[in-house]
A and B are shown apart, each in its own frame.
Chain A
Amino acid sequence: MSPSTTALLIILAIVGFGSWIGFRAGARRTMNLEQWTVAGRGFGVVLVWLLMAGEAYTTFSFLGASGWAYSRGGPALYILAYISLAYVASFFILPALWEVGRTRGLQTQSDFFEQRYGSKLLAGLVAVIGVVFIVPYLQLQLKGMGIIVEVASFGKIHRTPAMVIAGALVAGFVFTSGVRAVARVSIVKDLLLVAAAVVIGIAVPYHWFGGIGAMFKALARAHPAHLTMPGATRNMGHAWYISTVLLTGLGAYMWPHLIGSCFTAKSADTLRRNAIVMPLYTLALPFVFFAGFAAVLIVPGLKDGDLSLLTVVQKTFPPWFLGVVGGAGALTAMVPSAILILTAATLFAKNFYRPILAPSMSDDSVARLAKWASVVLMAVALFFTLTSGRTIVALLLLGYAGVSQFFPGVVLGLFWSRASRAGVFSGLVVGIVAVAFLILSGRDPFMGLNAGFAALLLNLVVTIVVSRLSGGAGNLSAQSAAV
């Protein structure tokens, strides 16, 4: 058997096994919207943990992190910092949000905006923005999948057909099984991914340099500037680092799909305890960085940094191991893709289409529309992936710049009784316009700061000022609290 056949067969077996678990998970249940999106709100510590952790290890942390360690150097370290801080933020935000979710029967982030600010229009806007910024996140998973198959087949299979097949598989198991599929497949993919990351992170430096310390010493000698900020970039210094870590750390739990998985929990305490142990779960990440840094010396000059981890694996290990890594990587792309389209489709059908375009729609038709929307979304993301050349991390940062704009609406909405509909609406619009302007006109970083963070500051100021001026009008929670 040729090396590429071995690698591809193993990838196929792993992806097939994962998909089989996914299809089976929902086979014996009738799927109404509540089952499909929040699994009847019955997940305990273990399943919530798997669901949320499953979303922590994505193609981004696997291929993207090593890709930036390779192509940018020091600035990539922001990834090791923000994930821990995201859990700190979640510790304070999610239990409160869950509580509101339980008492008001919320399923989505947009539901929260509707309940808290009493505006279907604001909720619809939140849904649309959520869907729009989920697209780059979905794109990066698909790009990862394409890269994996391309490298594993030693260039014989182009990434385009690989992305199309993987996209179809994911859309298929989301269509049939909903959120249960995602939690089950997470188990397989996390076991494989963590094992693969640790083996790669230890074996690659040992094989080429005789150890991790020796690898770093060699890199510090050859490229001393690569390991600190701004690394191989010109404008990603400490101000960029601080603003990016704040944007992504505070913004992480503003992703509509993470807020959705928060509602699957049985209790608020589940979420707090989750947040305490979650940072430990990211301990496999440094190993991914070892591979990216080692690649700087082993395979210099790659045009696309996102290829660095797999190229090093291909040069270091036998083909069957490349197959295992590829399979783990493919599942790692498929699980988050599944939850992303699940969320985006629900948001579109439940919080945008029905309230604004078809108020008389039945719950069953909404569930059906959501399922078909998931297929359409996958097609849209595929189209953009095939036509865009951004790196994986750049795609994620674009998504973060967008979803972080929900932060004032969610956090002030929970903890500040005077946050008003007008305030949040204007803050959100200003924030999104600023993000679009700064990024589309190539002004990121903006004055040394992450552009998304600059927009978030503006958003926060507008939200607070307008809320104060409008005096808490249109504030459902405040009204019902007074009753």
Chain B
Amino acid sequence: MVRKPTWPALLLGLIPFVALCFTVPLWDRIHPFVAGLPFNFFWLVLWILLTPLCLWGAYRFEKRADSEHPDGPQGRVR
């Protein structure tokens, strides 16, 4: 077994799933156009940009957990 991901990191990773997947009935529409794009298209492009931010936050939690883990830096096999 390896170290499990931390809860805050997993929650941050869940945000893009909610935004890009589960909420589709809320944003799958043409109007309003934003930046010349239909709304659903704009929404998806926006989240291509926001997903790295969520992962960067998750990265900080994972790094902290790594340094506190007794077996060293990278979630080693116990």
Contacts and interface: CB of A to CB of B under 8 A. Distances in A.
Interface string A82-126: 001101100110011001100100000000000000000000000
Interface string A256-299: 00000000000111001101110110110010010000000000
Interface of A: 74, 77, 80-81, 84-85, 87-88, 91-92, 95-96, 99-100, 103, 211-214, 216-217, 220, 224, 227-229, 238, 241-242, 245-246, 249, 267-269, 272-273, 275-277, 279-280, 282-283, 286, 289, 414-415, 417, 477-478, 481
B76 A276 contact: no
Contacts of A81: 20-21, 44, 47
Contacts of A211: 36
B28 A242 contact: no
B3 to A, nearest CB: 8
Nearest to B44: A80
B75 A85 contact: no
8 contacts: A80-B48, A96-B2, A99-B77, A212-B37, A227-B40, A245-B21, A276-B59, A286-B44
B74 A414 contact: no
Q: Sort chain B's interface into a size bin.
A: 35 or more
B55 A414 contact: no
Contacts of A92: 5, 9-10, 13
Contact of B75 (A84, A96, A228, A245): A96
A414 B28 contact: no
- Most chain A CB neighbours (cut-off 10 Å) among B33, B38, B78: B38
Contacts of A282: 48
Contacts of B73: 269
A228 B26 CA distance: 12
A80 B44 CA distance: 6
A227 B5 contact: no
B40 to A, nearest CB: 6
Given A238-B25, A283-B48, A99 B76 contact: yes
A238 B24 contact: yes
Given A212-B37, A414-B1, 6 more contacts: A81-B20, A88-B16, A92-B5, A96-B75, A99-B75, A477-B1
